[in-house]
Structure 1
Amino acid sequence: MTIPTIEYRGYDLRAYSHQEFPLHRDPYAKGVRRFSSVGRIDSIHPSNVKPRRYGTVFAETDSANATDAIDLAMQYGKDIVEGKVQAKEL
């Protein structure tokens, strides 16, 4: 399994996606499947600082596939590093 990773302004950004099932998380329930993601931000330089994890916040739409969820998580991570978004860690 490959974990998407990019280097951005001295940090490693990683994103993980997972499928969320409708109606009480039942995988056999009828309905639209959507994807959620978690971004992880690590310092590239060795330090004692723990990596930070954030749940991606989808402002207007849910992701229809894993690739879109990962792309949104990467952009969200960039926004956190740049200070555009004040996010709450998981």
Structure 2
Amino acid sequence: MSIPTLQYKGYALRAYAQRTLPLYRDPYAAGPHRYASVVRIDAIPPGEGIPRRYQAEFKGTDPTTDVDAPERAMQYARDIVDGKVQPQML
């Protein structure tokens, strides 16, 4: 699995997605898939400060595909950099 990385306004943005429902250990579980994401924001060059990590908060419903989760997490990270969202660090 690759980790999507994007350079945006002097920052390197990374998104980590993980399926939360149904659980991987239960192959017979029914129901729609749900994903949670964590975004990491690093300054460029990397020596300037510590990386910041945030739990992505999705408006509406959680992502239901493994492609949609990182894309929505990257948009969330761009909103953080732009100052549209004021999240709490992990």
Normalised-by-shorter TM-score class: 0.7 to 0.9
Matches within 5 A, 1:11-26: 11-22=11-22, 25=23
TM-score of the superposition, structure 2-length normalised?
0.87
Q: Deviations over 1:30-57 (max 9, x none)?
A: 3222111111000012425110011110
| 1:46–1:15 Cα change, 3 Å | closer
* Unaligned residue ranges in structure 2 (runs of 5+): none
| 1:43–1:33 Cα change, 3 Å | same
CA RMSD of aligned residues (A): 1.6
Which AA in structure 2 matches 1:64? T
Greater helix fraction, Structure 1 or Structure 2: 1
* Unaligned residue ranges in structure 1 (runs of 5+): none
Matches within 5 A, 1:47-66: 47-66=47-66
Asked if 1:75 corresponds to 2:71, the answer is no
Preserved contact between residue 21 and residue 27 of structure 1 (Cα < 8 Å): no
Q: Give the count of matched residue pairs.
A: 88
| 1:13–1:21 Cα change, 3 Å | same
| 1:86–1:7 Cα change, 3 Å | same
